[in-house]
Structure 1
Amino acid sequence: MNAVATTNAPTPVSVFAWLVKREYWEHRGGFFWTPLIVALVFISIVLLVLITADITAHQHGINVSGMNLGQLAEKMTAENTVKFAAGVDIGLLGMSAPIGIALAFVVFFYLLGALYDDRRDRSALFWKSLPVSDLSTVLSKVVAAVLVAPLLATAAIIMLHLAFLTLTSLYAMLHGVNPLPLLWSPDHLIALWLKLLILIPINALWALPTVGWLLLCSSFVRSKPFLWAVLLPLLVGAIVAWINLLQQFALPSGWYWKNIFGRIVFGVVPGGWVSAGLARVSNVNGDINVGLNKLDFMHNFLSVDGLLNVLMSRELWIGAVAGVAMIAAAVYFRQKRTETYA
């Protein structure tokens, strides 16, 4: 009997996986349905725009048909093909922005209530009665915020891309235009989607200061966590600006708002690390070709070199260390506090 009981005992990995599943099921509306609904709304708008464009073109006698994009693709040089693919990438990423913004809002408010809500409804006492450590509980919320939610949002983005390309292709085919050679390059699309998946851990590292700060507020404050999470950094920034504290350290006046306030409040916005990559490009290449280098980086910010620039930036790793420290503090207060004044 003891051997059977030992065999069936849950392992730490299985317990942690169960905790992550719990976070998903309790917040499925935000994690799963929000990006899916945003994608469906965007596709509906695209469909309405195509219908409106077709009706308007018909009313004004405009006829676009008979274009052979296959012949056009054959005549394009390798450089032009790369530029066209980059243009498609930029267009697809641009239409993904609403899902990224929705993801940022979902993750922000999820983290803000992740530990506070358990204390407000006293369910923290129930979870503490189970053989689950506070460290595992907090880390499961971190994983849900920086991995599970972005993975589901990326899936919605890929679905959005496929739906958009399908609608555009059908519209083009109805007008005698063959879009397949230029829009449906398998290597190009798969590379783009793989890069979106690679961005998830980079966004996670960049978001750690915000994740840590929001969890710290969620675990510590006894009422109104939003005011603590947002108004406290705003108040500190106003005081720092008023007494000109940063000037004593030869720092520009906007340093606090960019590196402290921006990182702990807006770090969950996908792609917030782009500015760090641009800054590193400028520092490495000097001032002569800074403008050109910035344009190149923005054009290829999903390239291997662009991502390496981000991973080698001090801003990323200093923020990550600060985020880990705040997450550790959140674990500590999770152990000590079980009540709120809400």
Structure 2
Amino acid sequence: MNVADTSLPSTARNVAPVHSTHTFKMLLKREYWEHKGGFLWAPLIAGVISLVLTLVAFIAAEVATRRAISSGQLKIDGDVILNGLDLRALTRTLDADQMQQLAHGIDLSLVMAAFWPFVVLAFVTFFYCLGSLYDDRKDRSVLFWKSLPVSDTQTVLSKLASAALVAPAIAVAIALLTMVGYMFLLSGMVMLHGGNPVELLWGPASPVRLATSLVAAIPVFALWGMPTFGWLMLCSAWARTKPFLWALMIPLFAGIVVHWFNLMRIFDLDASWFWSNIVGRMLLGTVSGSELLYRPNPAQGGGSDGLHDLLGHLSAGNILASLALPSLWIGAAAGAVMIFLAIRLRRWRDEG
């Protein structure tokens, strides 16, 4: 009897306490599983739709081309009539400049194909942050979560990490898969017309460089979007009802007042500065690449030079150069303050 009685306390003493990092990891998993539809399926469906539309466009172009060939209406420069479309023969006629333009065109089409998941990401993260703390109060599940040994700081930061890091990382992975799928579809079209995909597509294009750029954009997205994440989560923690209207109307009304009374002249600035750096940063931070609007236009020129400059602007090095923008770190600090206020408000607001 005595041995049996002492074995239970000994077993209990051998149980290791749960580490804080394990708790945070479980909170991240909770956010992912509760919002898997927005984080995973929505951008994945967007990528699939992009590929399906590309396939439909290829089929339509193939049918139209074959009809034009059969009727003798397919011409080059208005003089040469083609009896067939042999990409291998056409490739031999391309000089170095034309091959470079072809490479730029392929890279731009890859960017456009990968753009769809990021459009979905902008809406998903916006409304996720807006309901991240409000929904728990609305269905009163906040009372259950407060009964667990999980701090408000851990809970709010897990939601912030989900919006700023987890969701964009998933969107980048899906965008990369979309790019690969697009290249395979394009390779099939090239092979259908006797071309060599390695020589005509994979060689000139830069899918690895574009993939590196997308990965490099994740930390920039997280830091640049901090004012938006912070503002939306602050409204989610504070608003008793309709957080969307509060989050939208307060910045817009402030912008209207500043513009109406020309208040920025006190600081020798125009009202457009307030709309761009205050209202825009509070509402548009979930839009991927929005930080590029605060830098010189990459396509000042026209033609192939403008396209080359645009693609150069989307390089990994140039994207990471956004980390040197003072406005990025000022906005990140403002977002951190709003996140801190959201944590404090969550400790007080537990009503439905």
TM-score by length of structure 2 reads 0.86
Q: Do residues 8 (structure 1) and 26 (structure 2) align?
A: no
Q: Contact 1:65–1:177 (CA<8 Å) still a contact in 2?
A: no
Is 1:44 the counterpart of 2:52 in the alignment? yes
Segments of 5+ residues of structure 1 without an aligned counterpart are: 282-289
Matches within 5 A, 1:128-167: 128-167=146-185
Question: Which residue pairs with 2:223 in the alignment?
Answer: 205
Q: CA deviation at 1:298?
A: 3.0
Cα offset for 1:85? 3.8
Quick one: which of 85, 88, 92 aligns to 1:68?
88
Q: Tell me by how many angstroms 1:10 deviates.
A: 1.2
Match of 1:285 in 2: none
Q: How far apart in 2 are the matches of 1:258 and 1:64?
A: 53
Distance 1:89 1:269 in 2: 21
Which residue number corresponds to residue 30 of structure 1?
38
Q: Check conservation: 1:237, 1:257, Cα contact below 8 A.
A: yes
* C-alpha distance in 2 between matches for 1:70 and 1:125: 69
Identity score, percent: 40
For 1:205-224, list aligned pairs within 5 A. 205-224=223-242
Deviations 1:231-265 (Å, cap 9, x if unpaired)?
11111111111111012211112111110111110
Question: What residue in structure 2 maps to residue 225 of structure 1?
Answer: 243
Matched, 1:99 2:117: yes
The reply on whether 1:252 has 2:260 as its aligned counterpart is no
How far, CA to CA, are the matches of 1:221 and 1:6 in structure 2?
45
Q: CA separation in 2, counterparts of 1:334 and 1:190?
A: 43
Q: Number of matched residues?
A: 329
Q: Aligned-pair distance for 1:304?
A: 5.1
Alpha carbons of structure 1 residues 180 and 237: separation in structure 2 relative to 1, 3 Å: same
| 1:63-93 Cα distance to aligned partner (Å, 9 max, x none) | 55332289649x865x876665443322211
| CA deviations over 1:288-309 (Å, ceiling 9, x no partner) | xx946x9575331233552353
1:306 partner amino acid: N
Q: Residues 110-161 of structure 1, C-alpha deviation per residue, up to 9 Å, x if partnerless?
A: 0000000000111011101100010000010011111111111111111111
Equivalent residue letter for 1:157: A
Q: TM-score, normalised by structure 1?
A: 0.88
CA drift of 1:4 comes to: 5.8
Task: Point out the structure with max Rg over C-alpha.
Answer: 2
Contact in 1 for aligned 2:104/2:205 (Cα 8 Å):
no
State how far apart, in whole Å, the 1-side matches of 2:123 and 2:108 are.
23
What does 1:78-117 correspond to in 2, within 5 Å? 84-117=102-135
Residue in 1 aligned with 2:322?
A: 310
Q: Which moved more, 1:183-192 or 1:127-136?
A: 183-192
Would you say 1:57 and 2:65 are equivalent positions? yes
- Compared with structure 1, are the counterparts of its residues 299 and 126 closer, same or farther at alpha carbon in structure 2 (3 Å cutoff)? same
Deviations 1:46-65 (A, max 9, x none): 11111111111122225553
Distance 1:64 1:143, change over 3 A: farther
Asked whether the equivalents of residues 216 and 319 of structure 2 are also in contact (C-alpha less than 8 Å), the reply is no
Aligned equivalents of 2:185, 2:197: Cα separation in 1: 11
Q: Which residue of 1 aligns with 2:280?
A: 262
The alignment yields a C-alpha RMSD, in angstroms, of 2.6
Distance 1:49 1:307, change over 3 A: closer
Structure 2, gaps ≥5 residues long: 1-8, 75-82
Query: Given residue 270 of structure 1, which amino acid in structure 2 is its aligned partner?
Result: S
Cα 1:315/1:128, change in 2 over 3 Å:
same
Corresponding residue of 1:125: 143
1:253 maps to amino acid: A
Query: How far is 1:322 from its partner?
Result: 0.5
The amino acid across from 1:168 in the alignment is L
Aligned to 2:312: 300
Supply the distance in 2 between the matched residues of 1:68 and 1:187 (Cα, whole angstroms).
Answer: 17
Q: Are 2:28 and 1:20 equivalent residues in the alignment?
A: yes
Cα separation, 2, equivalents of 1:206 and 1:95: 24
Query: Which residue number in structure 2 is paired with residue 183 of structure 1?
Result: 201
Distance 1:64 1:171 in 2: 14
Instruction: Give the drift of 1:328.
Output: 0.6
What's 2:350 paired with? 338
Greater alpha carbon shift after TM alignment, 306-315 vs 321-330: 306-315
